[in-house]
Homo-oligomer: A and B are copies of this chain.
């Protein structure tokens, strides 16, 4: 087995993750749904989808529906998991909801698996030690008057 699939660009990851999210219920999604979810024009989505199809991550036929291949589904769910770890973390340290998503999207494609693991461990730690968070928020409150 070779690595093969691991060299997705940040954008490709964005697309794949979104395809995963959009098709998790229905089993499929479409170009216009994808493109509007990513705030991108349809031609951009088409092009990327064709590349993902070449990599056998999704099944795609012209004018048709987008369906994840087994590989794509696996990778997609990993990407989503990663996304959620970052997002939880970003929220916990105090970035407000309005910006949290955006910040998450910016970070998620850049950091390594190791870093994600660290963040995940940290989140679990916080979960089991909620008093730490209380302390932190108290501290934040005292040290953040007007922004």
Contacts and interface: CB of A to CB of B under 8 A. Distances in A.
Nearest to A135: B129
A135 B119 CA distance: 15
Contact of A111 (B103, B114, B118): B103
B115 A90 contact: yes
Given A118-B95, A132-B135, A147-B117, A125 B140 contact: yes
Interface in A90-147: 90, 93-96, 99, 102-103, 106-107, 110-112, 114-115, 117-119, 121-122, 124-125, 128-129, 132, 135-136, 139-140, 143-144, 147
B112 A99 contact: yes
Nearest to A91: B118
Contacts of A119: 93
A121 to B, nearest CB: 6
B115 A95 contact: yes
A124 B128 CA distance: 22
Given A99-B114, A114-B147, A132-B132, 8 more contacts: A93-B118, A103-B111, A106-B111, A121-B140, A122-B136, A124-B143, A128-B139, A129-B139
Instruction: Give the 6 A-B residue pairs with the shortest CB-CB distance, closest first.
Output: A106-B110, A94-B118, A125-B139, A93-B118, A103-B115, A93-B122
